[in-house]
Amino acid sequence: MRKFCLCGVLILVASLSWGKIPFGLFNGDRQEDYQTKQLWAHIINGRPITLDLELPASQEANRNKWERDISNAFNRWFTDTARNIEQSGKAGDFADVMPILRRGLKFGSNGFVIHVVVQDSLDDIRQESRSWVSMALTDLNTQTMYLPTQEVADRDMASARLPSTPLWIITAHEFGHMLGFIGQYPRENARHMDQVGPRSYSSKTHPMETVMSEARPSRKIGCDDTDGIINMIDQQRGGAKGARAGKIWESFCSDSQDGFRDGEKVGKESYQIRYDSRTTEWQINTGNGTKKYSMNRTLMGEKKDWAFVNPQDVVSAEEIDVVKRDKENRPIKTKTNNGATVYYEYFQEVTRKAAFMGSKLAWVETVYQDRSYVHELEFLTPDYRPITLKWSKPATISYKEGRAAIELSCRKNARGQITCDASKDRLARQDSLFGDFRKMDPSSVEYRVAKASAVETLTAWFEQLPDNPSPDKN
């Protein structure tokens, strides 16, 4: 996950800034933050939230109104999300979250404490945030929110020649940080949302509809906010419950191409291909329920679910026929030249593919579609050797076989020729696909021949590995 931090400023402080230099500060791993988890536990389980309100002397006579307005602004995340779902006609589809949303926050004593400090000047807020454009801020360590009065906010916006922003939006924005949402920023044309963090659920294809925008907040709890609240509830509960469990649902933004499952963003129509590092299992659902595949357990005798393949057959496999595409025209099911059926999952910046020979899993591919473009390929050989090929063209390729590893630094020249630097490769002393190196003297001719054969074979494989993660979309 990407993290966003402004160096030299207090960590875990989120600032709301409009006008000349919109920026925000937020620790991206909000799901690991204890305070956020505790807040959500109280919300989901209907336990009380205690509002600790500090007002300036000029506002003390209006305490009841302040308490009512702040609690209403907090609750709009839930009541408005429930309304958005009901107006879409999907209340039945989200029956597991509707009771939480309709109930909203339960305010009372001896609950989870949220401190709100109202100030009739921006000086203290800007000194705390160390930003001369901040209007409000939230300290996520202490769950303390600093807010201006409406009059102070209006004067500041007018000085920047910007329209007035209702105080409930400022309050809801800051509470959104407490809920775990990161600030949103407009893209280059200042019209569309950009994803800037793990709590960003907005599509990049539609005008922003979120109060979490740092520059142009929505005047309502929008479709992006609705997506985010549902996903956050799913994440806090370890996945969707009831009929939604394990199923993809579409964004509430009508022109978005996003889909979500169990609190995570996926393609609307992609399959489920996940790796659980705790159990070392692949969890794959191609439409007939989730099935688990483990290389470790396979080596212990559970071999019936794997198709054991020769490495050459895997690296030379070519997807020649797209059987099914999603609404973005991306392939989600293909056929290869050696008879395998390949299923796709698009998950954030990762593309995963699972290839099956009949009902047996043959190999799994993972492509990280960021600047590094790292590609991993995993399979089992006929003699039950777990193989992992990892490459990032045109830079490097690595081969792993159990604990054994041969790492080569390879380059492709202008003519497309690949050369690998054998002087930098590492060969573990283990029984390998290329020979039993445990029985070889590293200074022997046998060792050098076996090593040269490994380098030659891996270089040949590298030449056959694809540059692109998926077939042509056209």
Number of H helices, E strands in the chain: 10, 25
- 1 falls within a domain: no
Residues in the chain: 474
> With the C-alpha atoms ordered 72, 74, 76, 79, is the resulting torsion angle positive or negative?
negative
- 473 falls within a domain: no
| Element containing residue 261 per DSSP (H, E) | strand 258-261
DSSP-derived secondary structure letter, 225 = H
Do 346 and 304 share a structural domain? yes
CA atoms within 13 A on the CB side of 369: 12
- 469 falls within a domain: no
Last residue of a domain, one of 203, 235, 265: 265
Domain count, the chain: 2
- 224 falls within a domain: yes
Last residue of a domain, one of 241, 265, 289: 265
Those residues with Cβ within 8 angstroms of residue 188's Cβ, 6 or more apart along the chain or in another chain: none
Mean pLDDT, contiguous 10-residue spans, the chain (474 residues): 23 30 32 77 96 94 96 96 95 96 94 92 68 71 88 80 84 90 50 32 51 74 89 89 87 76 74 80 80 68 76 89 84 92 83 91 85 79 84 70 68 68 59 79 84 80 64 38
Beta bridge partners of 13: 139
Two tokens at 40? Answer: 């959500």
Do 257 and 294 share a structural domain? no
Count the Cβ atoms, other than its own, within 10 Å of residue 369: 16
- 199 falls within a domain: yes
Give the per-residue pLDDT at 51: 96
| Element containing residue 407 per DSSP (H, E) | strand 404-412
Do 72 and 50 share a structural domain? yes
Do 278 and 152 share a structural domain? no
Per DSSP, the residues of 283-343 read: EEESSS-EEEE-HHHHHTT--TTB----HHHHHT--EEEEEEE-TTS-EEEEEETTS-EEE
Question: Do the Cβ atoms of 128 and 137 come closer than 8 Å?
Answer: yes
Domain residues for the domain of 251 are 13-265
The whole-angstrom separation of Cα 273 and Cα 276 is 10
Give the per-residue pLDDT at 263: 84
Do 286 and 182 share a structural domain? no
Angle CA 454–459–460, to nearest 5: 100
Question: Do the Cβ atoms of 157 and 18 come closer than 8 Å?
Answer: yes
- 447 falls within a domain: yes
Two tokens at 21? Answer: 């230099």
Backbone φ, ψ for residue 90 (5° rounding): -115, 20
Give the per-residue pLDDT at 21: 20
- 82 falls within a domain: yes
Do 280 and 257 share a structural domain? no
Give the per-residue pLDDT at 206: 45
Do 382 and 299 share a structural domain? yes
Do 228 and 277 share a structural domain? no
Question: Do the Cβ atoms of 92 and 182 come closer than 8 Å?
Answer: no
The whole-angstrom separation of Cα 397 and Cα 393 is 8
394 preceded by a cis bond (ω within 30 of 0): yes
Do 289 and 256 share a structural domain? no
Give the per-residue pLDDT at 49: 96
- 456 falls within a domain: yes
The whole-angstrom separation of Cα 238 and Cα 441 is 52
> With the C-alpha atoms ordered 212, 41, 5, 193, is the resulting torsion angle positive or negative?
negative
Do 27 and 139 share a structural domain? yes
The model's pTM: 0.58
Do 158 and 19 share a structural domain? yes
Do 296 and 243 share a structural domain? no
Last residue of a domain, one of 265, 284, 302: 265
